[in-house]
Structure 1
Amino acid sequence: MKSPLFSILLCGLVAGGCTGTTVNECSNTLSNEEVAVFTSSDKVLQKAYEWAKKTALSYSHSDLDPVGFWYEAALPKREAFCMRNVSHQSVGAQILGLQPHNKNMFSLFAKNISEAKDWCSYWEINRYNVPVPADYLNDKEFWYNLNANPDMLQACMKMYDWTGDDDYISSPTFTNFYKRSTNEYIKRWDLSPDKIMDRDSYMNISVDFDENNNFHACRGLPSYVEDLPGIKVGVDLIAALYGGFEAYSRFAGLRKETSDSVYAKMIAERYRDILENEWWDNTQEHYRTLFTKEGKFIRGEGVPYILWFAATENSERIDKIISDINSSEWNVENLSHFPELFYRYGYCDKAYEYLVSLPTMSRANFPEVSFGVVEGCVCGVMGFLPSFSDKTVTTQYRIISPDSDSKITNIKVFDGYMSVCHKGNDFTEISNNTSSDVMWKASFIGDFDWIKTEDGVFHAVKTHDIKGNHISYADIRLPANKSIKAFALKGESDIAGNPLAMCLGSLP
């Protein structure tokens, strides 16, 4: 048996550059300690990540339990995973190498969708592979938030883009869940665009319905907001349905089901129209959040989910959402996603504040927090976003400082690993240790004219993010088992020479 030290040397993890691993040698040998290793000149940031990785992995479990591979994604000590929380923790879990855990848990939720439950699944499943008693009595009496199906649909699309696992597209278990969730589920709960604003607060109720019984009144909550009984629909459900149908459109397209893809995209846009035309308050310049059984809009939680599901593209309204979030108090479930969301839209300073403060917040032991910090560092700070469906990977360093260096080594992606090293605002090195050739969108915050690699010089494409930051990028072919360095330059005079040489070496 090879020693751990030999494995580390074999995988190229020793100091001396922004190197990673090779699929053939290391895809089955990397330990938890070797996967997704983050280092930074910002030691506060590095400490937050190290806490998050250690904490998140402490919630993961092998397949020795009856339920199989799983991680905690519910209230602490419940020994269970919730459909909502898994959908929200899955990217962080994937980064840490918990790919079999995600697939197993999503498969279980998909398998347990049924007509008897009005095309709902189980809200929570425990380590014994049974629905959690606190949420489920029988198929007519249980707790369920209607956002769950479209939320999971979007999460499964993310998992396909991160893994390239064809089961997410073609497995009968998953395809049945997708089709039921965009057809029978929508009809059974009156969630179609032409009915959702007129639906009843309580639906599919039994003859002995008791509004004071949570297993009756909460069997089909039309929002993730759970403390206001009798609402018809929440803005977060509108956004979730947009995200779910957008994801289904992509799935259908990948399966060459063109008519289904076009139809689902059309339905998604109808939900977006409802959001923009009926939920936006022009007077107050914010989104309404809850629609009551009396037919009135009221304010409450839910706005962050418009960003989570990318349900609006209106930059002015996104800026209002950011202001709305910053002026309100939030529970830790919402806070755990703010770093990734704020970085995604260019609000880097505030994203950083959330990221480094989350580990010390009250209820930081809630599993969603640690997984959210991992995602916030990798997808937010490092701007790392793979898409197997498009055969692309994007990077963008979002710490705007010429003296800041950060590296993430061995991110679990596709059938192998990728590593990314950023040095200052103008240098990135990426290592593609998978079997897939991809296009690398090498993106930099700043107004640059050129992006130079060892193989040539590219004209920088210039754009802006929602916040208004200048963005410059180039699409660069990144073959399998290849590392590439890219340097962003201003002016033709900077192209001469070899500035790449100044950026070689490992981080401190």
Structure 2
Amino acid sequence: MSGVSLRSGSRALVDLFEWAVDTARSHVVADGATGPLDVDERHPDGHGSARYAASYRAGYGHRSGYYLRDFCHQAIGAQLLGLQRENSGMLASFVASVRDGWPAWALNFDGTTPLAIDVAADGRRVRELPAVFELVETMQSLHRWTGAAPTADDRAFAVHAVTGFVAAHDAERPNGIAEAGGPTIFDGVASYDESPDPPFFEAGDGIGAQYAATRHAAALAADSAGAVGMPGGLAERIRRLYRESWSRDPADRDDAVVSGWTREGSPATGWHREATWFPPLKGLMAGDPRLPAELDRIDALCRASATAPRNVEALTYLPDLFWRYGDADRAFAWMQRIFARREHPHPVAGQGADGTYPEVSFTLVAQCVAGILGIEPDAPRRRVALAPRLPRGVPFVDARDIPFGDGGIDVACDRDEVRFRNGTSVPLELRVVRRRRGQFRDPHLPDEGIAADAVVAPGESVAVSRVRARSSSGSAVPARRAPRRCAPAGSAPST
């Protein structure tokens, strides 16, 4: 198993990263191992046995499978750890499991058998709307890291999820937004919050994930020659609907942000965890004048003991949220808070300590590398953009052997300079950009119109000044050739 390594002038960052890497790798499931099926808290010995497929734990450690929601949030960390085979197999297993538009909520480690605890007696499986759309986003995001062409099944699922699937679940309040009214998770629920008060019919995490999936499906279709069935303008219609009804009048500063709607058409404007933070996380609130106050509110409510989510895995979205708005200090503070909880008991007794929940370690790996270095991969087009954001107390970061395309890249930066090494077999266009704090950026979507700072040949390294780097509407200063091995400016090169 290969994957990224990291050096830094911050001991706190290095300790966090090394713990996260070691812990995440402990969750890998070996291909061909034999193990029981349907292990859970009610059936600790499971039922029968099967040959396991290459995968990793994504969900509770006392169950013999991986979960759709967790996989989607762990996949980038897994990519950085060199788990491309595992990601590919798990992604394919969820696409193959689709029934009536819904992927399985959880699969055993054999990659084919739905986990029994999440299947009702009548055969219905757990169904939570945001996960359908997050699978589309994950599919496109991994495509941009690996460059591997999506399969016909992948493309078909992605396009159908944001078109035919939405249309089939938009019957009672036709507005282009998928609905799910429960009452149970086996009937289909609109939110990752399985029991909100009031019950949601449309939820903020549902519309946020649908918006992002629509943008990612369009990008995936654009990368696929001859792909059809992806109408234009869908994402813009969702954004406009959200601004006009969910967020009400953007000019009214006293108007509360809507986190969801009941079946009767009443808005919910209180604190609803994922339903509150997914709209800004997925970019739906980009440009909204109330966004800064909403980010502050989410930060404060997640820190306050009375309102903070009890499950640490819910908090793992917070660093992602703040990285996407270039708030390095707040993102890193959340990473450290989550790391500090690693020995705390998880509220689900069978899980053990908070740090054993796989989502914690996998997401911290991604946040340490892709978050701080601002990596925006585009392997299909042989491009990489970098928008580094060093938190206070982190003078430099040097990440090596980052899996990308058919090989890897090295990226190092300090306050003055970025160094980049191309370890793939093809030339790569490099862009170094400065993104304003508060400016939303999804790192896995195209950002056209930025000139390349350099075309870096295989095996070559370049250095680009950050001091004169322009905003995302322009490029940085021209690159200069650097020593072949990437090292942070001002530090001794490795031997």
TM range (shorter): 0.7 to 0.9
Give the whole-Å Cα distance in 2 for the aligned partners of 1:97 and 1:79.
Answer: 22
- From the superposition, tell whether residues 232 and 499 of structure 1 become closer, same or farther in structure 2 (CA, over 3 Å): closer
Q: Structure 1 residue 283: deviation in Å?
A: 5.0
Match in the other structure for 1:304: 277
Distance 1:67 1:388, change over 3 A: same
- C-alpha RMSD of the superposition: 3.0
2:388 maps to which of 397, 400, 406: 397
Determine helix, strand or coil for the equivalent of 2:19: helix
Is the Cα–Cα contact under 8 Å of residues 428 and 457 in structure 2 kept in the other structure? yes
2:372 corresponds to 1:372 = no
Name the residue aligned to 1:95. Answer: 80
Residue 293 of structure 1 pairs with residue 290 of structure 2: no
Deviation of 1:130 after TM superposition, in Å, equals 1.2
Match of 1:43 in 2: 11
- State the SS of the aligned residue for 2:74: helix
Counterpart for residue 9 of structure 1: none
Structure 2 residue runs of 5 or longer lacking an equivalent are 34-50, 302-307, 345-353, 441-449, 470-476, 484-488
> Counterpart of 2:162?
182
Identical-residue share of aligned pairs (%) = 22
Matched residue, 1:269:
236
CA, structure 1 residues 237+410, in 2 after alignment: closer, same or farther (shift >3 Å)? same
Go from structure 1 to structure 2 and tell me whether the alpha carbon gap of 1:280 and 1:60 turns closer, same or farther (over 3 Å shift). same
Q: Which blocks of at least 5 consecutive residues in structure 1 are unaligned?
A: 1-30, 203-210, 445-462
Q: Which runs of 4+ in 1 moved over 3 A?
A: 137-140, 191-200, 256-261, 281-286, 315-318, 400-403, 488-491, 498-504
Specify the SS of the correspondent of 2:356: coil
| Higher RCO structure (Cα 8 Å, ≥6 apart) | 1
Please report the TM-score for the alignment, with normalisation by the length of structure 2: 0.79
Taking structure 1 as reference, are residues 42 and 140 closer, same or farther at Cα in structure 2, changes over 3 Å only?
same
Within-5 A mapping of 1:177-326 = 177-190=157-170, 194-195=174-175, 201-202=181-182, 211=183, 214=184, 217-228=185-196, 230-257=199-226, 260-261=229-230, 263=231, 265-281=232-248, 282=252, 284-298=254-268, 299=270, 300-301=272-273, 302-314=275-287, 316-326=289-299
Tell me how far apart the structure 2 counterparts of residues 198 and 396 of structure 1 sit (CA, whole Å). 34
1:436 corresponds to which of 421, 426, 429: 426
Choose 1 or 2 for highest CA Rg: 1
- Residue 240 of structure 1: CA displacement? 1.0
How many Å separate the matches in 2 of 1:441 and 1:88?
26
Q: Residues 356-388 of structure 1: CA distance to partner in whole angstroms, max 9, x if unpaired?
A: 221221423211111111111111112222112
Q: How does the TM-score come out when normalised to structure 1? A: 0.77
- AA aligned opposite 1:241: Q
Q: Call closer, same or farther: CA 1:257–1:304 in 2, change over 3 Å.
A: farther
**2:487 counterpart of 1:505:** no
> Structure 1 residues 311 and 476, CA, compared in 2 at 3 Å: closer, same or farther?
farther
SS in 2 for 1:155: helix
How far does residue 257 in structure 1 lie from its aligned partner after superposition?
Answer: 4.3
Would the alpha carbon gap of residues 192 and 54 (structure 1) be closer, same or farther in structure 2, given more than 3 Å must change? farther
1-side partners of 2:225 and 2:319: how far apart?
A: 35
Counterparts in 2 of 1:381 and 1:193: CA distance versus 1, 3 Å: farther
Deviations 1:97-122 (A, max 9, x none): 011111101101101112xxx32121
Hey, what's the Cα distance between the residues in 1 that align with 2:156 and 2:388?
Answer: 39
Structure 2: which amino acid aligns with 1:337? Y
Are 2:42 and 1:72 aligned? Answer: no
